[in-house]
Amino acid sequence: MDKTVKKQKAFFLSLVLLLSFYLLTFTRLSWALTADEVVDKVDTTMREAKDSVGMSKMILVEKDGSERVRQIKAYFKKNPKGDDFTLTRFLSPADVKGVSFLSLSEDEMYLYMPAFGKIRRIASHVKHESFMGTDFSYDDIGKTKYKDDYDSKILEETPAEYVLEASPKPKAEVGYSKIKLWVSKESWIPTKVEFYHPKKGSLLKVLTNSQVEKIQGHWTPRKMVMENVEDKHKTVLEVTEIKYDTGLSSEVFSQRNLKQSE
Amino acid sequence: MVAADIIRRLKPAAITILFFSLFFSTFTVPVRAEDKVDVKGFLSIDKRFLVPETHTPIIDFYNNLQVEARAKPSDQVSGVASLDVRYYDYPRPANDLVSLEEINTSNPVEFSLWEGYIDVNGFLLKNLDLRVGKQRIAWGTADKLNQTDNLNPDDYSDPLDFGRKFPSTAFLATYYIKDWQLIGVWVPTIRPVLLPKSGFNLEALMPSNLSQLPGNVYFVPGKITTEYPSFTFLHSMGALKLKGQVLNTDFSVSYFHGYDDTPLPARLSNLTINLPEISADATMVLPHLDIVGLDLAGELFTVGFWAEATLLLPKNKIVLTETDQNTETLLEGFLTEKDRTILKKEPYVKYTLGGDYTFTNGIYLNCQYMHGFFTDAGVDNLGNYFIGRIEDKFLHDKIKTSLSGGLATMALTSQERFKDTLTYFLVPEIQYLGIDNLEITLGYFAIAGKKGTMFGSMTDQDQIYLKAKLSF
Instruction: Return the residue of B nearest to A117 by Cα.
Output: B138
pLDDT digits (tens, 9 = 90+) for B331-373: 666 666 766 788 889 999 999 999 999 998 889 999 999 999 8
Beta carbons of A121 and B250 less than 8 Å apart: yes
Q: A262 touching B, CB under 8 A?
A: no
Distances from the Cα of A171 to the Cαs of A79, A179, A199, in angstroms? 22, 16, 16
Same domain, A167 and A179: yes
Per the DSSP assignment, residues forming a β-bridge with A202 are: none
Same domain, A1 and A117: no
The percent of residues in chain A predicted with pLDDT above 90, rounded, is 58
pLDDT at B209: 53
pLDDT at B200: 56
Beta carbons of B248 and A132 less than 8 Å apart: no
Same domain, A5 and A67: no
pLDDT at B412: 58
pLDDT at B75: 87
Number of domains within chain A: 2
Same domain, A11 and A124: no
Same domain, A145 and A247: yes
Q: Burial level of A235, CB count in 10 A (0-12/13-18/19+)?
A: buried
Question: With contacts defined as CB-CB under 8 Å, which chain A residues touch B138?
Answer: 116-118
Question: With contacts defined as CB-CB under 8 Å, which chain A residues touch B181?
Answer: 255-256
Same domain, A22 and A129: no
pLDDT at B281: 83
Instruction: Return the residue of A nearest to B122 by Cα.
Output: A256
CA R_g for chain A: 22
Find residues 27-56 of chain A whose CB sits inside 8 Å of chain B: none
Per-block mean pLDDT, blocks of 10 residues, chain B (472 long)? 48 48 45 70 94 79 94 92 94 88 90 96 94 95 93 89 90 94 96 77 56 65 86 93 94 96 86 78 91 96 95 91 66 68 91 94 94 88 91 91 90 61 90 94 89 69 93 94
The percent of residues in chain A predicted with pLDDT above 70, rounded, is 87
Q: A60 touching B, CB under 8 A?
A: yes
Q: What's the distance, CA B380 to chain centroid?
A: 23
Spell out which chain B residues touch chain A, with contact meaning CB-CB distance below 8 angstroms: 38, 40, 70, 72, 78, 121, 129, 136, 138, 141, 174, 176, 179, 181, 248, 250, 297-299, 302-306, 356-358, 360, 362, 393, 396-398, 433, 436-439, 471-472
Question: With contacts defined as CB-CB under 8 Å, which chain B residues touch A118?
Answer: 138
- Give yes or no for a contact between B226 and B260, defined as CB atoms under 8 angstroms apart: no
pLDDT at A165: 94
CA B6 to CA B388: how far, in whole Å? 55
How close, in Å, is residue B264 to chain A by CA atoms?
A: 29
Same domain, A78 and A17: no
Same domain, A51 and A158: yes
CA A165 to CA A39: how far, in whole Å? 10
CA A196 to CA B299: how far, in whole Å? 27
How close, in Å, is residue B146 to chain A by CA atoms?
A: 12
How close, in Å, is residue B448 to chain A by CA atoms?
A: 29
What lies within 8 Å, CB to CB, of A126 at 6+ separation is: A109, A138, B358
Confidence check: pLDDT of A260 > 50: yes
Q: A144 touching B, CB under 8 A?
A: no
- Pick from A117, A133, A254: which is nearest to B397 by CB? A133
Instruction: Lay out the sheet containing B212-213: strands in order across.
Output: B212-213, B217-227, B277-285, B264-274, B321-322
Q: Phi and psi (nearest 5°) for B376? A: -75, 130
Interface with chain A: mutation pick from B76, B114, B123, B299, highest number of A CBs within 10 Å: B299
Same domain, A245 and A121: yes
What lies within 8 Å, CB to CB, of A83 at 6+ separation is: A103, A104, A105, A106
pLDDT at B225: 87
pLDDT average, residue stretch A228-256: 93
Helices (H), ranges, B124-243 = 208-211
Beta carbons of B360 and A117 less than 8 Å apart: no
Beta carbons of A126 and B358 less than 8 Å apart: yes
pLDDT at B305: 96
Same domain, A23 and A118: no
Kindly report the number of other CB atoms within 10 A of residue A3's CB atom: 7
- Pick from B72, B305, B436: which is nearest to A95 by CB? B436
pLDDT digits (tens, 9 = 90+) for A150-199: 999 999 999 999 999 999 998 888 889 999 999 999 999 999 999 999 88
pLDDT average, residue stretch A48-73: 93
CA B306 to CA B283: how far, in whole Å? 38
Same domain, A215 and A161: yes
User: Which residue segment(s) compose the domain that A23 sits in?
Assistant: 1-32
What lies within 8 Å, CB to CB, of B96 at 6+ separation is: none
pLDDT at A22: 55
Q: A204 touching B, CB under 8 A?
A: no
pLDDT average, residue stretch A209-226: 94
Interface with chain A: mutation pick from B358, B361, B366, highest number of A CBs within 10 Å: B358
Beta carbons of B398 and A125 less than 8 Å apart: no
Confidence check: pLDDT of A108 > 50: yes
How close, in Å, is residue A108 to chain B by CA atoms?
A: 8
CATH of the domain at A62: 2.50.20.10
Same domain, A130 and A236: yes
- Give yes or no for a contact between A209 and A191, defined as CB atoms under 8 angstroms apart: yes
pLDDT at B452: 62
